[in-house]
Amino acid sequence: MLATVQRVSEAQVQIENRIYSEIGSGLLIFVCIEKEDSIKSITAMVTKIINFRMLDGPKGSTAYSLKDTNEDALVISQFTLAAITGKGNKPSFHKSAKPEEAKLLYDEFMSLFETAYGNVKQGKFGAFMEISLINKGPITFNFKT
């Protein structure tokens, strides 16, 4: 599983020109399910993101983890994180899970995330979404499990 996590002042998802979900200060989390992923990798990613110190606190800009705060989280499924871009001029997505398999693991990821940290919203799996955000820092981290 892959994730790109950005600290944001705010973020919003629009689908068909309507606001689908939005958050204030917190984390915008783009996740990608790969072919080899399992419940184990999904669980590890939830644990990593919730416990990783990347939020502001009294000791600096990476003092608190999500679990230490009441910040918002917004999760967006994004299969293009698995793009292979090293050859030619067109991306290859052969490492991404098939949509049906990815949806099952994405739903499991969301269920685990919501159980571990209730202050979370999401985009719509498989939809064309327009994402707007104000990156805070900018601070962005990439994770792989």
**Bridge partners of 5?**
29, 141
Does residue 78 carry a catalytic annotation?
yes
Q: How far is CA 137 from the centre of its chain?
A: 18
Annotated catalytic residue within 12, 30, 79, 145: 79
pTM for the model: 0.95
Distances (CA, A) of 59 to 27, 44, 83, 90, 107: 19, 27, 37, 44, 35
Model pLDDT for residues 68-78, shown as the tens digit of each residue: 998 999 999 99
Annotated catalytic residue within 78, 109, 113, 145: 78
Pairing verdict, β 2-15 and 55-57 = unpaired
Above 80 in pLDDT, residue 139? Answer: yes
Model pLDDT for residues 79-111, shown as the tens digit of each residue: 999 999 998 899 999 899 999 999 999 999 999
For residue 62, the model assigns a pLDDT of 85
Does residue 80 carry a catalytic annotation?
yes
Does residue 52 carry a catalytic annotation?
no
